[in-house]
Structure 1
């Protein structure tokens, strides 16, 4: 598997490479900035997976992610970060990333996630995406996307149907549903729809 790891933290980058090379089956290129990664990607065969640090030089938020997706010609690109919150992770998924990896993830889980994403699947730790953030309110205070997904739940749509309507991937809709259930204190999607109607959100 051809893998590009772009991160400006030398120790982290080297540690990742050392572990993955020990696992076997990886041909790894590295860069310490987005421009450095793009130079290696440009004109080369697409990498099976490109893993970008969200805060390294040249990223400029999601613009760097979009550039890398374009240069890697249809092959998967994912973000990793030690500081970004789940809003950033969700924005990355919406922008076309195949996954988001918190840097707290264990080495073995990382290797599994990389193989999973290189196979064309979407990966993001569910616990990271559904954990309550400091200062977050639980009922109401929904984002525009959450309102769209909740509206679909209230109309009895499946995740696939909601995804088609909102132009989100099914796995992204599933994460939104989990977050909505937690924010609304709902046991499941049906209960979330019932609570939304009772609260006259819809």
Structure 2
């Protein structure tokens, strides 16, 4: 399988090539810019997989990913990055990318991911793709809107409606509306009871 690694960090690129080249089934080439990668794709024998660094010279984010995906040759394209967010990775996969590899991925896992993608599968590490707030969301917090959670946290800290309104940048009447909804959802009658529920449930 032929792999093109396009990354402007010499050390990382050379390290990736060393690990991948150690595999008998993988043949690797490299590029340091998007233009160089595009030239190689046009000129070289077809690649099974192209790894594009999300931040290398010439890259214009997902627009450049689309450009390489649309090139002739039928190569599969994956993003590799130390900075891209989960949202960017999700968008890349939706666009048809072969996968997303964080630069923090252990070498052995990276080699396996490359093989996986080169064979036609789509790859993204589960831990990276799972948002922190999806991993551990308090059951009580799930019942409230983000703003209601903000209000509950503030009143649990002993703040007045006026202080909460100032901190959140909204009016006191709006705070009172949030309080009313909050009381109904928590099954309480006042702010003291609401704070007690939050504390008893271990939310704040």
TM-score, scaled relative to structure 2: 0.63
Matched with 2:122 is 122
Contact 2:93/2:99 (<8 A) preserved = yes
Shift of 1:20: 1.2
> Could you tell which deviates more after superposition, 4-13 or 62-71?
62-71
CA distance in 2, matches of 1:121, 1:64: 21
Unpaired runs of 5+ residues, structure 1, are: 142-202
Mapped pair 1:49 → 2:49: yes
CA change 1:39–1:52 in 2 (3 A) is: same
Contact 1:4/1:29 (<8 A) preserved = yes
- Aligned pair count reads 139
Contact 1:48/1:75 (<8 A) preserved = yes
Matched with 1:76 is 76
Q: Within 5 Å, which residues of 2 pair with 1:11-50?
A: 11-50=11-50
Contact 1:47/1:72 (<8 A) preserved = no
Matched with 2:186 is none
Shift of 1:45: 3.1
Matched with 2:199 is none
1:16 counterpart SS class: helix
Matched with 1:177 is none
Matched with 2:107 is 107
Contact 1:46/1:72 (<8 A) preserved = no
TM-score, scaled relative to structure 1: 0.64
Contact 2:3/2:48 (<8 A) preserved = yes
Matched with 1:158 is none
CA distance in 1, matches of 2:31, 2:93: 22
Shift of 1:74: 2.6
Structure 1 consecutive aligned stretches of length 4 or more whose deviation exceeds 3 Å:
137-141
Shift of 1:132: 1.1
1:42 counterpart SS class: helix
CA change 1:53–1:92 in 2 (3 A) is: same
Matched with 2:59 is 59
**In terms of Rg, which structure is larger?**
2
Matched with 1:9 is 9
Unpaired runs of 5+ residues, structure 2, are: 147-204
CA distance in 1, matches of 2:6, 2:113: 16
CA change 1:83–1:111 in 2 (3 A) is: same
CA distance in 2, matches of 1:112, 1:72: 26
